[in-house]
Structure 1
Amino acid sequence: MWNPILTVPYDLELELAVLDGEGEHALVFPCTKHLQCWRNALTGERIDIDPTHWRAWHPSRFANGALPDARS
């Protein structure tokens, strides 16, 4: 279940849904929200994104290599 981005917690590994030129989709790596930015939770790199929804990161969703659907 996806949660509205306005309720996002800080400093937790999250799966994010973003809207881009290809439509809405989930990112395939965990992210963390910091005071002023989003970061890739695996590398610590700052990322320039504008997510629409979030949910807890569960690596098992990616175990079969399938990309997640932002609507499920």
Structure 2
Amino acid sequence: MSELDTNGRWRPIQIAPDECELELGRRRKTGILPWSFPCRRRSGVWFNAWADEAVLISPSHWRIWRFRRETRTHIYKDGANRSERTAPIPAPGFRAGLTIDFR
């Protein structure tokens, strides 16, 4: 386990490390809302790691970025549960030439 491993728990942004890909989030009434792209801090400024553009929203929490497939479960009118796999939504400015293998 790495020194930075947070076991999926959110940590306060004040203790976030520099120069590594992190999942950032912002506190909302319902909890921490995660951003859908990894970020990296350089010289005190947060950057979208995929687009290498500065992020203008201030995060409140962080955890280690782990690429993952998201699973959404839907409950249909017939009472059946069905799951579907979805990819994270790319951030504005995402470079369309980047290919991601979801296998």
Please indicate, yes or no, whether the TM-score normalized by the shorter chain is above 0.5: yes
- The alignment of Structure 1 onto Structure 2 pairs a total of residues equal to 66
Which structure's residues are more often helix, by fraction? 1
Which of 9, 18, 22 is the equivalent residue of 1:10?
Answer: 18
Structure with the largest fraction of strand = 2
Aligned-residue Cα RMSD (Å) equals 2.5
TM-score normalized by the length of structure 2: 0.54
- Secondary structure of the residue that 2:14 maps to in structure 1? helix
Partner deviation per Cα, 1:12-68 (whole Å, 9 max, x = no partner): 000001247xx841100000011131100011011112111000000115473276x
Unpaired runs of at least 5, structure 2? 1-8, 72-84, 89-103
Query: Stretches of 4+ moved more than 2 A in 1?
Result: 61-67
What TM-score do the two structures reach when normalised by structure 1?
A: 0.75
Which one has a bigger Cα radius of gyration? 2
Task: Compare relative contact order (CA 8 Å, sep 6+) and give the higher one, 1 or 2.
Answer: 1
